[in-house]
């Protein structure tokens, strides 16, 4: 097994274990996503603002080309929508083929 294969298997296991089911506009079926919220310090001259940064991660094999304004609906265990979010900003992909997208609540 190559190093890249090992990384891909690890990433897949993390999404399977810690991810949430969701629907993504323009994609058939459900996908696994991981959401993250973290406070970010924004400094301006002598002042600072604390802002909550929201990101969602999704594998490229599940969503080949996420785009700004895509709608994502987070599902509960029964398949009911519990939250709707909208992708904001330009998605970025890392070396493990996982997209990171900023979002806002829809």
| Beta carbons of 58 and 70 less than 8 angstroms apart | no
Q: What is the pLDDT of residue 27?
A: 94
pLDDT score at 87: 96
pLDDT 10s digits, 33-44: 999 887 777 777
Q: Can you tell me the mean pLDDT for 10-23? A: 86
For all residues of the chain together, what is the average pLDDT?
A: 89
| Per-residue model confidence (pLDDT) at position 83 | 95
pLDDT surpassing 90 at residue 52: no
Q: Which DSSP symbol is given to 26?
A: T
Per-residue pLDDT at 23:
97
Closest to 74 (Cα-Cα) out of 105, 38, 37, 101: 105
Surface-to-core class of residue 14, CB atoms within 10 Å of its CB (0-12 exposed, 13-18 middle, 19+ buried): middle
What residue ranges define each of the domains in the chain, with the CATH number in brackets?
3-105 (2.40.10)
Q: Which of 35, 28, 25 is nearest to 105 (CA)?
A: 35
């Amino acid at each position: 097994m190559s190093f890249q294969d090992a990384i891909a298997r690890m990433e897949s296991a993390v999404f399977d274990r810690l991810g949430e089911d969701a629907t993504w506009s323009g994609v058939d079926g459900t996908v696994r996503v991981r959401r993250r919220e973290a406070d970010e310090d924004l400094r301006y001259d002598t002042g600072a603002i604390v802002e909550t940064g929201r990101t969602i991660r999704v594998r490229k094999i599940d969503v080949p080309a996420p785009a700004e304004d895509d709608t994502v609906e987070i599902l509960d265990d029964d398949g009911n929508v519990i939250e709707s979010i909208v992708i904001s900003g330009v998605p970025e992909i890392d070396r493990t083929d996982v997209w990171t997208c900023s979002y806002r609540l829809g």
